[in-house]
Amino acid sequence: MIPSPRPLDWTGRALVRGLPLFALVLAGCAEQPRLGETKLPMAVKQEKDLPPPSGGDLVAATTAYRIGPLDKLSITVFGLEDLSGKFQTDAAAHLSFPLIGEVDASGKTPTELGAMIATRLGREWVRDPQVVVNLEETSSQVYTVDGQVGKAGTYPITGNVSLMRAVANAQGTSEFAREDDVVVFRTVNGEPLAALYNLGAIRRGLYHDPKIYANDVIVVGDSKARRMFQQFLQTTPILTTPLILALERL
């Protein structure tokens, strides 16, 4: 029998000997605590869901959007194009409107602001005005998504925003994300709290998709084992298929 060339023998022995060492590296990574399991300097809710913020924790914790500082609004007075247009509140959430002057929009819903403007216009200037206010862009009520997502950053709270929707707005989870290691940080009555969620469990309907409020911070954890594994594959592509199947269970 003709012996195999040395390069093939050497490669085979290198893969066999290198695998246990790499497995130990992966095991060490796997033993690292998840983000939600680390000792955080705050109380961690482990039952059901985080409570909603109180009125003192944010401008409002209601479903209806409350106008705040530097929000951009579209205001339409039907039949009067000269009074309609784009407006932005100032640092105190006030805006200047034609004919009626300064309007305090702070903490009001768009519907409430529209009714206020209509009332003031109707007193002296316009007969039975019809005013509609729409939110164009908000700078005051936002949540933050960080960690292993497509696009980390701050996003506006408009309507009802759930955890799944918030992550989707951040372009979803990245290649190295741990979907069972998603933490929501929130302040309730001045107390910092955190809750650990599993996106896969939410998708399967094992528990509800929690609501996200203004000032919440969502952090998607990182799978260090997969990240190191990906780096290993770049230098040893021959091991791609068998080891990937094993690591998918991490």
Closest CA to 56 of 100, 107, 14: 107
Is there a single domain that holds both residue 218 and residue 157? yes
H/E run at residue 212: strand 211-212
Query: So what's the pLDDT on residue 32?
Result: 53
Residue 129 covered by a domain? yes
**In angstroms, rounded to a whole number, what is the distance separating the alpha carbons of residues 105 and 76?**
16
Is there a single domain that holds both residue 114 and residue 147? no
| Crossing angle of the two packed helices 224-235 and 6-30, in degrees rounded to 10 | 170
**In angstroms, rounded to a whole number, what is the distance separating the alpha carbons of residues 139 and 250?**
39
Whole-model pTM over 0.85: no
**What is the residue range of 158's domain?**
35-59+141-226
Query: So what's the pLDDT on residue 44?
Result: 54
Extended beta strands in 56-209, E state: 72-77, 85-88, 94-97, 101-104, 131-137, 142-147, 153-156, 161-162, 177-188, 191-197
Is there a single domain that holds both residue 78 and residue 201? no
Query: So what's the pLDDT on residue 162?
Result: 93
How high is the mean pLDDT in each 10-residue block of the chain (250 residues)? 36 35 42 53 58 64 70 93 93 92 92 96 92 85 90 82 94 90 86 87 90 90 72 56 43
Residue 23 covered by a domain? no
**Degrees to nearest 5, angle at CA 183 with 139 and 231:** 105
Residue 249, phi then psi, degrees to nearest 5: -90, 0
Is there a single domain that holds both residue 133 and residue 145? no
